[in-house]
Amino acid sequence: MSTASETQYAFHGAVEVDDQLDALETMLDPGTAECLVRLGVPAGARCWEVGAGGGSIARHLLALAGPGGRVVATDLDTSRIAAPGAEILQHDVRWDPAPDGGPFDVIHARWVLMHLPERRRVLSKLVDALAPGGWLVIEESMVTPEGLPVLTSSSPADVELFGRFSRAVVRILADAGADPQWGARDLHAAMAESSLEDVHSIHRTDSWTGGGAGSRLHDIHTRQLREPLCARGFTDSDLDRLQNIVADPRFSAMWYPLVSTCGRKTSRA
Ligand SMILES: C[S@@+](CC[C@H](N)C(=O)[O-])C[C@H]1O[C@@H](n2cnc3c(N)ncnc32)[C@H](O)[C@@H]1O
């Protein structure tokens, strides 16, 4: 079991966080928007965006909930949440009680619980904060330890280096307390066991060409995770080479599918 002091979000205090959040919003927002539209966020909804990052989904919830709605956007680091109209709160979802403004009709967290060793307890807290009939939407990625498949590249050596890099990133996140495979392995069952009904999962995946948002995220990781990558045997020249590979339009690779798992709190008392 990890304790609070052992828990370290891998990107806390990292370089290039603005660029990281921008790239991941570009990659993931279309899938999240589709999922929220399918759920049908009602006008006037009270929403909680957990680990809001750059705030794009808080803005989306504000638009869906309309002028009578309310969106609380929380994060460990609120400095990047750009969501005018939302109530922004510095909050550690592991230890802090649910924010005022609930119970909530929609609670959404993307690429957050995966990073937290306390994810099961956090999940219970989020379920408890739902209003009867309210939806919990947890989005993670279907990460596999085999790393990401390369679709096109200019050389087999590039495929080998990129494969080694993508597998190392998974292990580095796990060393920091993440469970990169929780979305693929446990998320749906954990929500089904959490007194939620109508639990269902949607998977969505895209390929990214060199220079595109998914490739930019790899480029950013070569700098954010430079130290642990070097500790795992990557040299400066490997990392320089990786930056060139993921900027090259001849390169393309899949990203792990986004899994959006939704469940509704029973409306029975
Ligand atoms: C990978 S980013 C995802 C940002 C945003 N959810 C998105 O998908 O665009 C993870 C976010 O979770 C936040 N976070 C990490 N640990 C947290 C915690 N214990 N409580 C609240 N937020 C946390 C980080 O600060 C960061 O903004």
Can you give the pLDDT at residue 12?
82
Rounded-to-integer distance, Cα 165 and Cα 239, Å: 9
Q: Are 215 and 251 in contact (CB under 8 A)?
A: yes
Which tens digit of pLDDT belongs to each residue from 76-114?
A: 999 999 999 999 999 999 999 999 999 999 999 999 999
* 192 CA → ligand 1 middle, Å: 23
pTM: 0.95
Does the domain made of 15-265 have the CATH classification 3.90.76.10?
no
Candidate from 5, 7, 9 with most ligand 1 atoms within 8 A of CB, to mutate = 9
Dist. CA 75 → ligand 1 center (Å):
6
Query: What are 183-195's pLDDT values in tens digits?
Result: 989 999 999 999 8
Domain positions in the chain are: 15-265
Distance 52 CA to ligand 1 centre (A): 6
> CA 130, CA 40: separation in Å to the nearest integer?
16
Q: Spell out the alpha helix ranges (H) of 176-259.
A: 182-185, 187-192, 213-224, 226-231, 236-247
User: Can you say whether the dihedral through the CA atoms of 205, 208, 212, 218 is positive or negative?
Assistant: positive
Find out whether the beta carbon of 76 lies less than 6 Å from any atom of ligand 1. yes
Residue nearest to atom 11 of ligand 1 (CA): 51
Peptide bond into 30 cis (omega under 30): no
Q: What does the pLDDT look like over 142-160, one tens digit per residue?
A: 999 899 999 999 999 999 9
Q: What is the mean pLDDT of the chain?
A: 94
Q: Specify the higher pLDDT residue, 56 or 5.
A: 56
Q: Is the CB of 29 under 6 A from ligand 1?
A: no
Distance (Å) from CA 185 to ligand 1 centroid:
21
Give the model confidence (pLDDT) of 217-228 as tens digits. 999 999 999 999
**Cα-to-centroid distance, 49 and ligand 1 (Å):** 10
